[in-house]
Amino acid sequence: MKRLLSIFAALVLTAASPAPVPHWTSAQIDRLNAWLLAAADDGLGSVTPEAKVLQDRLAGGDPAAVDVEATRIAIRLLNAYRDGCCNASLRSGWRIALPRWTDAATSVADAVSADQLEQLFTRARPSHPFYDALRRAYARERSPARRATLAANMDRWRWMPRDLGPRYLLVNAAGFEATLWEKGRAVSRWKVVVGKTKSPTPVFAATVTGVIFNPWWEIPSSIAAESVAALVRNRPAEAARRGYVLEDGRYRQQPGPGNALGRMKLVMPNPYNVYLHDTPSQSLFGQEVRAFSHGCVRVEGALDLAATLIAPQPGWSRENVDALVASGETQKVDLVSSIPVYVTYFTAEPDALGAMRYFPDIYHRDRGAKSPTEDGVCL
């Protein structure tokens, strides 16, 4: 009867995927078992009980049944490392695209055949330093609420590209912070202001190709309808004083000290019209919770950010940047090499010294976050 069940399971697994069921060596079974136990510290405790299932199958003494069960379990574990375990509902609105993974069944079959199971799971698990810090904190934490938060943020890292690039900007809207990363290290940090709860900053990725100094503000129609259009129509003198103009049916704001974009704006085309830029409202950076914008990301020390990004180009020291800004001239400066920017939402993240920080869930995106325990029950 057991033999018939093993054959049936093999047929089901094969039918579900074109990949064949590989033969597992005892050493590979041991490594799979170790990864299953380690997964508990990755917030994947609901997968960990599969270790006992695997041991029970081994005790049955049927090699074909062991191959089928080990393959099924490895596929489940691989998918958990790639996509998470219990927090899929939090992925709504997360618009950072991942490279397409190879089918999990094919990946497992190939890895077992090539004896590269370790490499398979290592590549699937995020390797970012922030993920490692979350994992260590999760292993130590005993508070169910904190564990749920840590697990949710580890899942968010699973929804990030595994290779973010050698140089990139990471914006954390929940932490009100932007960080420049180079060669795997955070080299600079800036406070930011993000969208109000009624106009939250979206989660997305873009590419920064340049900087515009002394930018014009092309006013979105929704913002124009709120106040600018009426101001231009009813109080033209005040509108002119504030730099608002109506040209060819569109509202714009001239460069100047009162321009909503401040003295610089990053060139980072995206479908949300959300950008990193300066602001004349510098006092907002003194607030602990900085959710005041219509969705864009306002940067404290924006000229420092701009100068840092274009520093590799000859002739663009901070002094040159300050001189250009003082001239009032609008000028676009292209980066020698474009860099990715990831606008994210992490409610737990380590500080510069590695201590875990917990941020207010300003957009209520942690609602429903779950932390699987080792027995598979989600808290």
pLDDT, one tens digit per residue, over 331-375 is: 999 999 999 999 999 999 999 888 999 999 999 999 867 655 433
For residue 217, list its beta bridge partners.
Answer: 253
Q: Looking at residue 4, what is its pLDDT?
A: 46
Residue 56 has a CB neighbour count (10 Å cut-off) of 10
Average pLDDT over residues 308-328: 92
How far apart CA 268 and CA 207 sit, in angstroms, is: 5
Residue 159 has a CB neighbour count (10 Å cut-off) of 21
Could you give the residue range(s) of every CATH 2.40.440.10 domain in the chain?
164-215+260-346
CATH architecture of 164-215+260-346: Beta Barrel (2.40)
pLDDT, one tens digit per residue, over 289-301 is: 999 999 999 999 9
How far apart CA 176 and CA 43 sit, in angstroms, is: 25
Q: Looking at residue 341, what is its pLDDT?
A: 98
How far apart CA 238 and CA 228 sit, in angstroms, is: 11
pLDDT, one tens digit per residue, over 217-236 is: 988 888 888 888 888 888 98
**365 near 357, Cβ under 8 Å?**
no
User: Rounded to a whole number, what is the distance in angstroms from the first to the last CA of the chain?
Assistant: 38
> What rounded mean pLDDT belongs to the chain?
90
Q: Looking at residue 175, what is its pLDDT?
A: 97
Q: Looking at residue 87, what is its pLDDT?
A: 74
Q: Looking at residue 371, what is its pLDDT?
A: 58
In sequence order, which residues have a C-beta less than 8 Å from that of residue 140 and are 6 or more positions away? none
Q: How confident is the model at residue 243 (pLDDT cuts 50, 70, 90)?
A: confident
Q: State the DSSP code for 40.
A: G
In sequence order, which ranges of 217-281 are alpha helices (DSSP H)?
Answer: 221-223, 229-234, 236-241
Q: State the DSSP code for 200.
A: P
Q: Looking at residue 85, what is its pLDDT?
A: 73
Burial class from Cβ neighbours inside 10 Å (0-12, 13-18, 19+) for residue 53 reads middle
Average pLDDT over residues 265-276: 96
Q: Looking at residue 205, what is its pLDDT?
A: 98
Q: Which residue has the tokens 């697994």?
A: 13
Write out the two tokens for 194. 């993000």
Q: Looking at residue 370, what is its pLDDT?
A: 67
Q: Looking at residue 200, what is its pLDDT?
A: 96
Question: For residue 209, which amino acid is it?
Answer: T
Residue 163 has a CB neighbour count (10 Å cut-off) of 10
